[in-house]
Amino acid sequence: MRTPGADRQRQVLKVLRTHGRPMSAYEILNAMKGGESRLAPPTVYRALSALMDAGSAHRLESLNAFVPCQCDEADHTPVLAICEQCGTVEEHADPPVLERLSKITEATGFRARHHVVEVHGLCGSCAA
Amino acid sequence: MRTPGADRQRQVLKVLRTHGRPMSAYEILNAMKGGESRLAPPTVYRALSALMDAGSAHRLESLNAFVPCQCDEADHTPVLAICEQCGTVEEHADPPVLERLSKITEATGFRARHHVVEVHGLCGSCAA
DNA sequence: GTGCCGTATGTTATAATTTAACAAGGCCGG
DNA sequence: CCGGCCTTGTTAAATTATAACATACGGCAC
């Protein structure tokens, strides 16, 4: 299996959007099992993989969890702000900071290809 | 168990430094088993945890792997450049970029506490 | 010293996450 | 129709991480 079904992708994206917080692959799996009894992890992972390729979902590397993309831009590397208390994730776009990161790493001849930027802290509500 | 033994910590750090590339916890475990037959994952994870608290090791969130800290500063959040080809990791310090990340996320009232910044690409040797 | 308590350490077992490898179904050209 | 290929599904297992339980060590009251 290579290309995950477009229907599956939509289904996963819907679950992610409904939930409103980062979800682990198994949380997604269980949410989807409600409507369909037989469903295995690879199905979910493949759909997630396709969604991420399309930029419709992001993976939180530091949490092993996934969120739907919150902006509409197709291709972008987000800065993700993750609330340690309530789990909400805010998505920011900031090309200059990515540019800067590339510059820093290129000091040694490194060729930057992809950035992972996650900020942990407290969201406005939880910090108040 | 709370505090991992200082001896264990040194042992883990030595393995990490000897290896020269990111290691998974289980790679560390196996490397240590060479000299000592009975050794369990929690021992390694606890030592790693203490090393990271001390800033002597870093976790690569996007690889689920660990590297020894390459600079001497005690407390710092590194920018890690990870070569996708050969696996080497270069460590950079750049407070301004972290500052900038905090600024960006604080636009919504977010209070930044900890940054995860990893750049994937090709190191100088592999890009050549 | 001896017995008790708390901290440090170790181990077993299992949970959670991810992927490899195999199997089955459907569509298209011949 | 039939054979191959692309898509999808499933089983099983590898990898990563932690909870919960068990043990040992060391000080301190007595």
Q: What is the pLDDT of residues B1-14, one digit of tens each?
A: 456 667 788 989 99
Q: What pTM, to 2 d.p., does this model score?
A: 0.89
Given a cut of 80, whether residue B35 has pLDDT beyond it is: no
DSSP type of residue B4:
P
Given a cut of 70, whether residue A25 has pLDDT beyond it is: yes
pLDDT for res B74: 67
Q: Which residue has the higher pLDDT, A1 or B78?
A: B78
Percent of chain B with pLDDT over 90: 73
Asked if the Cβ–Cβ distance from A105 to B61 is below 8 Å, we say no
Nearest-by-Cβ selection for B127 from A104, A109, A120: A109
Give the tokens for residue B127. Answer: 């890009």
Q: Which residue has the higher pLDDT, A111 or A37?
A: A111
Q: Would an 8 Å CB–CB cutoff place B95 in contact with chain A?
A: no
Phi/psi-derived region of residue B98, left when phi > 0, alpha when psi is between -120 and 50, beta in every other case: alpha
B64 falls in which pLDDT band (50, 70, 90)? very high
Report DSSP letters for B109-127, one per residue: T-EEEEEEEEEEEE-HHHH
A90 falls in which pLDDT band (50, 70, 90)? very high
pLDDT for res B75: 72
Q: Would an 8 Å CB–CB cutoff place A52 in contact with chain B?
A: no
A35 falls in which pLDDT band (50, 70, 90)? low
Query: Please, are residues B120 and A116 in contact by the beta-carbon 8 Å criterion?
Result: yes
pLDDT for res A106: 95
Domains of chain A, start order: 4-68 (1.10.10.10), 78-127 (3.30.1490.190)
- Rounded CA separation A34/B116 (Å): 35
Q: Would an 8 Å CB–CB cutoff place B99 in contact with chain A?
A: no
pLDDT for res A79: 95
Q: In Å, how far are A16, A54, B50 from A11, measured between CA atoms? A: 9, 15, 41
**Residue numbers in A near B110 (CB within 8 A):** 81, 83, 90, 119, 121-124, 127
